[in-house]
Amino acid sequence: MKNIRNIVILGHLQSGKTTLAETLYAAATGNQKGSVDAGTSISDYTPEEKSRKSSVHSAILPLEYKGTKINLIDCPGSDDFITDTISAISVVKGAVLLLDASKGVEVGTVKHWNFLRKKNIPTIIYVNKMDKPDVHFDKLMDDIRTKLGKNAIPFCYPMGHNDGFDGFVNCVTLTARKYNGKECEDAEIYPDKRAAVLELHNQMVEAVAETSEELMEKFFMGEQLTREEIHDGLRKSVLASDLIPVLVGSAIKGIGIHTLLDMMIDYLPNPQDLNPIEGVDMNGNPVERKTLDDEPFSAFVFKTMVDPYFGTANVFKVNSGKIKVGDTVHVSKLDKDIQVSQLNVVTGAKMTSVGEIGRASCRERV
Q: What is the pLDDT of residue 161?
A: 66
Domain enclosing residue 79, as ranges: 4-273
Question: What per-residue confidence (pLDDT) applies to 306?
Answer: 80
Residue 118 lies in a domain: yes
In a domain, 366, yes or no: no
Does 22 lie in the same domain as 160? yes
In terms of domains, do 332 and 184 share one? no
* 31 plus 65 within the same structural domain: yes
CATH number at residue 300: 2.40.30.10
296 and 249 both lie in a single domain = no
Q: Are residues 311 and 200 in the same domain?
A: no
Query: What is the count of structural domains for the chain?
Result: 2
234 and 351 assigned to the same domain = no
Tell me which residue of 303, 276, 271, 238 sits closest to 5, measured CA to CA. Answer: 271
Residue 119: the pLDDT is 94
Residues contacting 131, CB < 8 A, separation 6+: 165, 250, 253, 255
- Which of 238, 273, 308 terminates a domain? The answer is 273
The residue among 273, 301, 324 that closes a domain is 273
Residue 24 lies in a domain: yes
- For residues 340 and 301, membership in a common domain is answered with yes
Residue-by-residue DSSP string for 260-308: HHHHHHHHS--GGGSPPEEEE-TTS-EEEE-SSTTSPPEEEEEEEEEET
For residues 241 and 243, what is the distance between their CA atoms, to the nearest angstrom?
A: 5
pLDDT for the residue numbered 64:
96
Which of 248, 273, 298 delimits the end of a domain? 273
Residue/partner pairs of 197-205 with CB below 8 Å, 24 or more apart: 197/157, 197/169, 197/171, 198/174, 200/153, 200/154, 200/157, 200/171, 201/171, 201/172, 201/174, 203/153, 204/153, 204/155, 204/171, 204/172, 204/230, 204/234, 204/243, 205/230
Residues 324 and 225 both lie in one domain: no
Question: Are 12 and 95 within one domain?
Answer: yes
Those residues of the chain that have pLDDT short of 70 are: 1, 161-163, 359-366
Q: pTM for the complete prediction? A: 0.93
The CATH code of the domain that includes 21 is: 3.40.50.300
Judge if 118 and 149 occupy the same domain.
yes
- Do 76 and 125 reside in the same domain of the chain? yes
Q: Does residue 323 sit in the same domain as residue 284? A: yes
Residue 123 lies in a domain: yes
